[in-house]
Amino acid sequence: MATAEQWLEGARPRTLPAAVAPVLAGTGVAAHLGASRWGLAALALVVAVALQVGVNYANDYSDGVRGTDDDRVGPLRLVGSGAASAKAVRLAAFAAFTVAAVVGLLLAALTSWWLVGLGLLCILAAWYYTGGSNPYGYRGL
């Protein structure tokens, strides 16, 4: 069973600026235009971070069950290192996606319903990056 510290490391906090930066940029533009809505910005931030954590756990799960991380050198991968079971990491990924979906639904209800479709595409893209039978993350450009 992985420790809380290992789960945190498995969430890959060093990748979170990639999720936070666009929300901060959009919030900054909105503030500059006099249209800031801090509650919506907070919801968007939760969605972005939950999606990033979800994709990180999904990648850990998929690479772990494929054996891609068996000889990994570098930061801890939960499944590849044996710190957590594949099932537990998959559940963590879907828990993060569920948080993103629930908060995203609230955000869509307060703004625009097209965000529901965009959110679904984000979750599918996150999962199939290294998951599924033909992951696009392993294809060269």
Give first-to-last CA distance, the chain, whole Å: 37
Contact between 44 and 20 (Cβ < 8 Å): no
pLDDT of residue 141: 63
pLDDT of residue 73: 79
pLDDT of residue 68: 83
Read off the pTM: 0.93
Residues in the chain: 141
pLDDT of residue 111: 97
pLDDT of residue 71: 78
pLDDT of residue 124: 97
Tens-binned pLDDT, residue by residue, of the chain (141 aa): 899 999 999 999 999 999 999 999 999 999 999 999 999 999 999 999 999 999 999 999 999 999 887 777 788 899 999 999 999 999 999 999 999 999 999 999 999 999 999 999 999 999 999 999 999 988 876
pLDDT of residue 140: 76
Q: Cα 77 vs. chain centroid, distance in angstroms?
A: 15
Cα 125–Cα 128–Cα 134 angle in degrees, nearest 5:
135
Whole-number Å distance between alpha carbons of 86 and 64? 7
